[in-house]
Amino acid sequence: MTEQAQEGRVTEHDEATRPVSLLELDDVSVTYRIASGEVPAVRGVSLTLDSGAALGVAGESGSGKSTLAMALLRLLPRDARVGGRILLDGEDVLAMKWGRMRAVRWAEASIVFQGAQHGLNPVRRIGDQIAEPLLVHGLAKPDAARKRVAELLDQVGLPAWRARSYPHELSGGQRQRVMIAMALACSPRLIIADEPTTALDVMVQAQVLSLIKELIAEHGISLIMISHDLSVLADVCDRLAVMYAGRVVEHGPSAEVFHKAEHPYSRALAAAFPTVGDPVSRMAPKGLGGDPPDPMQLPGGCSFHPRCPVALDECSTLDVQLWPAGPARAAACVHVRPTAPSDPEQDVEAKKEEESS
């Protein structure tokens, strides 16, 4: 771990009382190599996810959310260089042999991709697509797989006869339910859901979100859910991490980050989107000024300073860290930086001067 990450890291639990983490990210970075140079898409992310917990990852387009999600299961293209450490149930993901990695995908941790409903094979019946990981991983024979498909469809609120449907015969919400059934097929301990509801209208979005909430609670599954929309994440997840320009700029309990964000970017993000089910706020979202930075030309100091409404002069050069911002919370902003401890000798001198004047 780099010195910077060590300083910036905030442990979320006392060592003695800390539950075993299902997932630990330690100073994770991802750099894409492209013809014109290097794209630092994820920079020094350290987070933990406890067993059975749900973590929301928020941030604007390009902040590195999908890149981080794909790094967790080594699904990135070859031109991506991954640094740091990713421990899944104590096992080093980046050091796993390919055979082990394939077994971990689906069976221990599965991912519902961004825009995945368009990723269903249009010429295969959905029952066959849901059964595929069970058959490929040798977890069921064809008869048992068929039964399991019916059970999974029931769990996601679809009738068993839908197994014979083709994707184009389903609505967007139903297709997303199928994707969730596929993710559940091998009973994973962790599901990573990348924008699982973004393409859906608000009513269907709310239904799919409550389905996800129910399923994770019922089966004790841990969840990492990614979205632009902090209100959606706060509704489903225990904790939130907000990413900006490849870094986590704030993390903490959902309600606190959503309602009382310490980082000005999290505050803007919380104000920029509607509350689920509230049509008035949906009609009047407060936007953020400016655009996220080009990762190949990141501003110096705090990357958010060109857009920040409360920036100080020092922010353009500041070595910003994830400083503690309350119990189990941290924010990368000068406004939560702990003041330097005072020098007792100087204090005595200052007091003498004060008394003599």
Ligand X SMILES: Nc1ncnc2c1ncn2[C@@H]1O[C@H](COP(=O)(O)OP(=O)(O)OP(=O)(O)O)[C@@H](O)[C@H]1O
Q: How far is the CB of 254 from ligand SF4 (least distance, A)?
A: 20
Binders of ligand X in range 42-61 (CB under 6 A): 59, 61
Q: Identify which of residues 69 and 336 has a Cβ nearer to ligand X in the complex.
A: 69
Helix (H, G, I), strand (E, B) or coil at 308: coil
Binders of ligand SF4 in range 262-321 (CB under 6 A): 263-264, 302, 304-305, 308, 310-312, 315, 318, 320
Q: Identify which of residues 65 and 162 has a Cβ nearer to Mg ion in the complex.
A: 65
Place of tokens 């907000």: 242
Q: Which does 34 bind (CB under 5 to 8 A by kind): ligand X, Mg ion, ligand SF4, none?
A: ligand X
Q: Which of 39, 58, 170, 241 binds ligand X (CB under 6 A)?
A: 39
Residue 209 DSSP symbol: H
- With residue 300 as reference, give the H or E element that holds it: none
Q: What is the CA radius of gyration of the chain?
A: 23
What tokens does 114 get? 């961004």
| Residue 169: CB atoms within 10 Å | 12
Q: How far is the CB of 184 from Mg ion (least distance, A)?
A: 22
Q: Which of 66, 117, 254, 266 binds Mg ion (CB under 5 A)?
A: 66
Residue 266 makes contact with ligand X by CB under 6 A: no
User: Which distant-in-sequence residues (6+ apart) come within 8 Å of 256 by Cβ?
Assistant: 326, 329
Q: How far is the CB of 195 from Mg ion (least distance, A)?
A: 6
Closest by alpha carbon to 24, among 72, 96, 83? 72
List phi, psi (to 5°) of 73: -115, 20
Pattern 19-38, ligand X, x by CB under 6 A: -------------x-x----
Residue 334 makes contact with ligand SF4 by CB under 6 A: yes
Rounded to whole angstroms, the Cα distance separating 164 from 90 reads 40
Residues that bind Mg ion (CB under 5 A): 66, 114
